[in-house]
A and B are shown apart, each in its own frame.
Chain A
Amino acid sequence: MMPSLAVDVPAVIALMLALVACGTLGNFLVLRKEAMTADAIAHAVLPGLVAGFLVSGSRSITAMFVGAACAGVISILLSNWSRRATQLEPGATLGIVFTGLFALGVILLETQGARQVDLDAECVLFGSLETLFYVPASDASWYEGVPRAIWTLAVIAFLTSSFAVLFMKELALLAFDPNAARHLGVAPRWLERAFLVLVSASIVASFEAVGSVLVIGILACPALIAAPHARTVAGQITLSLLLGLALSILGYSLAAFAPRLFHTPSALNSAGMIALVLALAVPLSHALHRRRQRKSNAI
């Protein structure tokens, strides 16, 4: 089976863009020890997505984006409020908020969204990588055949990577020593809010193509894989994106060639396989790092 220009290339481009959008900011979440936030936002935006869909009556990217962004911001506000009100640790309040909002999203999805044909739970969980076809019309320009999800991801990937490059040192200090960042006045509130809005935007933009399971995977796993081997923040981000892309293509290929490799009746779900490969690479990367450390200590 040969890779298809019309089927596999759009899927790989979408993967690459989703990885740049989510993986870049995911590094800062991991450095801040807030990888759980990625998980929380990825779950919490679901009711916003469904609400946007219900209000607009279609998968209008604007309506769903606004709905999801609102849900993301509400989840952060609720989490901060419950942290202050209960004095629980941040992870616990995030857990309470995101499970509650995700449950609300699933209820909305099953009771309202199930009546619609093109928004279902499986699509939300695993995305639509396999259906991102390049279909140029004979009487239209080449770019009109590019799936809409790729354009959306390209814009968000450009915004997030520009944000990270422009505010690299401020975001790094905020992760390393938030008190010093605030005291020095280099981490104003708008910067932290812009960061969280862009994390929400990356998640929402990636949802349609790769689904919620892989969104969580590409937010946290590439950064966790690269972290033990990096000496600078920029180095960690670069390494995480390169390794994330290589492992994603590996996962995509394993899913596509599953009938030949694993004797399955059909190809496996790409997003699920990529998430599995990324998740397995995290402990492997840390084990390799520990082994290298033991060797250097022995010398």
Chain B
Amino acid sequence: MSRQGCPLELERFSAGYGNGDCVVRDASFALRSGCMTALVGPNGAGKSTLLKGALGLLPHANTAGVRFFGQPLDKVRARVAYLPQRADIDWTFPASALDVAAMGLYRKIGFFHRVRGKWKSEARRALAMVGMESLDDMPIGELSGGQQQRVLLARSLVQGADLLMLDEPFVNVDFATEERLGAVLRDACRSGMSVLAVHHDLGDVRRYFDDAVLFDGTVVAHGSIDVALADANLHEAFRLGPPPEDSIA
């Protein structure tokens, strides 16, 4: 499958919540195709706002400078998958793991059609990719936090998208789950998919990601991990004061 074109390109992108304050200001960067890119920055920097704004999920975002695979989102919506923060989801909702995974197929299934056998098989395959095939009938409220996160990832994977935009996929999951999710995402990237994920832990960013966007309301640095997360950039983004002289050297 051809997955040519820059998966996501932002040009002077701004977004906010309509109270006059711009949470994201003049953000510009372009993702490398087939790579895992971490969106890192301090708490409240606007990382989730950037994701939601670029996807047109905020009423106060200027998406004129946002291009997915060189086109506006509406033309390539099926090629972009979004995984929200686990805390944004109501886990008391009456649905099983299979029901939630199948939600990623609703666009393909279309209006007026039910989720029948063929679609359920696809959803089960996605659950198997994240190691959740044995729990497909389990109500989502009875799953652990890590299992819930895996179900959400299955929902994103089943779309067959070329770009995954993930909001804190590794938060509040145990080490084994994090490893599993990381491996699934790496495999997806090897097959040509691109990933942009909000990530908090600077300590393990190198283990999973190829590139990073260091973000603090606007793009502080972008590029390979070593370039983007250089000490000088981290000090600027996290407002730690000037870095020690030897690290600049």
Q: Which residues of A are interface residues toward B (Cβ below 8 A)?
A: 31, 33, 84, 87, 166-167, 169-170, 172-173, 175-177, 179-180, 182-186, 227, 230-233, 235-236
Contacts and interface: CB of A to CB of B under 8 A. Distances in A.
A227 B94 contact: yes
B93 interface: yes
B94 A232 contact: yes
Contacts of B246: none
Given A183-B55, A231-B96, A231-B139, A176 B90 contact: yes
B204 interface: no
A201 B161 CA distance: 39
Contacts of B95: 172, 176, 231-233
Question: Chain B: interface residue count, which band?
Answer: 20 to 34
B206 interface: no
Contacts of A166: 111-112
A87 B94 contact: no
Overall SS of chain B's interface: loop
B84 A233 contact: no
A285 B154 CA distance: 33
Given A31-B93, A184-B106, A231-B139, 8 more contacts: A84-B18, A173-B103, A175-B93, A177-B89, A179-B57, A179-B82, A183-B77, A227-B94
Of the listed residues A31, A84, A184, the one surrounded by the most CB atoms of chain B closer than 10 A to its CB is: A184
B19 interface: yes
B55 A180 contact: no
Contacts of A177: 84, 88-89, 103
Given A166-B112, A169-B115, A176-B95, A186 B89 contact: no
A69 to B, nearest CB: 24
Contacts of B155: 180
Interface string B93-109: 11110011001101101
Nearest to A176: B93
B59 interface: yes
Contact of B57 (A175, A183, A231, A235): A183
A184 B84 contact: no
A179 B103 contact: no
Contacts of A170: 106, 111
Contacts of B238: none
23 contacts: A31-B94, A87-B17, A87-B19, A166-B112, A169-B103, A169-B106, A172-B95, A173-B103, A173-B106, A175-B90, A175-B93, A176-B100, A179-B57, A180-B103, A183-B56, A184-B77, A184-B104, A184-B159, A185-B107, A231-B95, A232-B99, A233-B95, A235-B94
